[in-house]
Amino acid sequence: MKNILIIGCGLIGSSILRAVNQKKMFRNIFILEKSKKNISIIKKLNIKCKIIKNIKNISVNFDLIIFCTPMSQYSNVILKINKLITKKTIVTDVGSTKELSFINVKKKLKKNTTWIPSHPITGSEVSGPKYGNKNLFKNKWCVLIKEKNFNKLHLLKLKSFWKKLGSKVILMNSKQHDVIFSITSHLPHLIAYNLVKTATDFEKNKKHNLIKFSAGGLRDFSRIAASNEIMWRDIFFNNKKNMILAIDLFIKNLNSFKQDINLKKNKQIIKKLIKTKKVRKQIILLKQDVNKPDFGR
């Protein structure tokens, strides 16, 4: 492929930039980025690329256009880049929810364009190009969304793109995607935010200084709860339907734990606690984490 346009050059966008540059995957790399701070960081990377602030003056045939902005910005940007899309252009994004964002995108997108959504499972609590890394995608899952009437050739090419970046590619439809990640990622983030909120509410009410004792558990949640607020608002709103179901199931289970504690139901609680331990073993077997104890960092 010859020309790539990366729209938004934060953590993910700048990691793609670093990776495609190192692997010499494109002849020309274009970046659409507004933030002065981000632009100044990207310039310091000394990567041969063209940074565009205003898309109006551009006339290039792109092979790949990849959206790496917060999902709430997609609609606005699409209207500006429609004129750059040819039949040859593969359009994708890296957003964390797929069903609703996909429907919204379709409304604005030039007709007969195939937008094949991607979701590299590579996030962190930090954001911005400062933290980008050419190996960010290495050995990580990248979900590609395969809907009806997808363009087979484009899908093959996009698959090969992510594989070159080191990802393990898996296909699913947007419905499946949003259900699975509501549980493995979106609910955990909301729960982390909610736990930190509960701790601060408590500190305020009881006037106890408790943050300094957070090494006992709260610390780990606070890391996740330091993630980018725009990105996570977009995720929660876009995956609303599944979030509500996940929250309800979570509260149902928590009330059951509450009852076990209140009535000191020994057998029930031990059974539950042992069961969750087994999940940890599965996660390590599946190489989603390493089997290394954590005593604080």
Q: Any contact of residue 74 with a copy of itself (CB under 8 A)?
A: no
Decide whether 87 or 296 has the Cβ nearer to a copy of itself. Answer: 296
Q: Any contact of residue 121 with a copy of itself (CB under 8 A)?
A: yes
Q: Any contact of residue 274 with a copy of itself (CB under 8 A)?
A: yes
Q: Any contact of residue 224 with a copy of itself (CB under 8 A)?
A: yes
The residue within the footprint of a copy of itself, chosen from 83, 106, 163, 208 (CB under 8 A), is 208
Q: Any contact of residue 215 with a copy of itself (CB under 8 A)?
A: yes
Stretch that binds a copy of itself, among 25-33, 37-45, 109-117, 182-190 (CB under 8 A): 182-190
Stretch that binds a copy of itself, among 32-40, 47-55, 118-126, 147-155 (CB under 8 A): 118-126
The residue within the footprint of a copy of itself, chosen from 54, 57, 148, 294 (CB under 8 A), is 294
Counting every residue written for the chain, the total comes to 297
Interface pattern 131-170 for a copy of itself (x via CB under 8 A): x-x--x---xx-----------------------------
Cα 283 from chain centre: 19
Decide whether 63 or 93 has the Cβ nearer to a copy of itself. Answer: 93
Q: How many residues bind a copy of itself (CB under 8 A)?
A: 103
Shortest Cβ distance from residue 101 to a copy of itself (Å)? 14
Interface pattern 227-256 for a copy of itself (x via CB under 8 A): --xx-xx--xx--x--xx-xx-xxx-xxx-
Shortest Cβ distance from residue 278 to a copy of itself (Å)? 9
Decide whether 156 or 254 has the Cβ nearer to a copy of itself. Answer: 254
Q: Any contact of residue 16 with a copy of itself (CB under 8 A)?
A: no
Q: DSSP readout, the chain? A: --EEEEE--SHHHHHHHHHHHHTT--SEEEEE---HHHHHHHHTTT---EEES-GGG-----SEEEE-S-GGGHHHHHHHHGGG--TT-EEEE--S--HHHHHHHHHHSPTT--B--EEE----S--SGGG--TTTTTT-EEEEE--TT--HHHHHHHHHHHHHTTPEEEEE-HHHHHHHHIIIIIHHHHHHHHHHHHHHHHHHHH----GGGGGGTHHHHHHHTTS-HHHHHHHHHHTHHHHHHHHHHHHHHHHHHHHHHHTT-HHHHHHHHHHHHHHHHHHHHTTSS--------
